[in-house]
Structure 1
Amino acid sequence: MEIDRHKILDALRRRGQHHRADWVEKELPERVDTVRNSGLLSMLNLDPAEFADQPNR
Structure 2
Amino acid sequence: MTISKAVVLAVLRERGQHARADFVDRELPDRIDPSRHGGLLATLHLDPAGLAELAGSEPA
Structure 2-normalised TM-score?
0.86
Aligned residue-pair number? 56
Question: Helix, strand or coil: the match of 1:29?
Answer: coil
Runs of 5+ consecutive residues of structure 1 not aligned to the other structure: none
1:51 CA drift (Å)? 1.8
1:52 CA drift (Å)? 1.9
Structure 1 counterpart of 2:13, which letter? R
Q: Is 1:13 matched with 2:13?
A: yes
Runs (4 or more) in structure 1 with deviation over 6 Å come to none
What is the alpha-carbon root mean square deviation over aligned residues? Answer: 1.1
Between Structure 1 and Structure 2, which shows a larger proportion of helix residues?
2
Give me the whole-angstrom Cα distance separating, in 2, the residues matched to 1:52 and 1:33: 11
Give the equivalent residue in structure 2 for 1:39: 39
Structure 2 counterpart of 1:24, which letter? V
Structure with the bigger RCO (C-alpha within 8 Å, sep 6+) is: 2
Runs of 5+ consecutive residues of structure 2 not aligned to the other structure: none
Structure 1 counterpart of 2:23, which letter? W
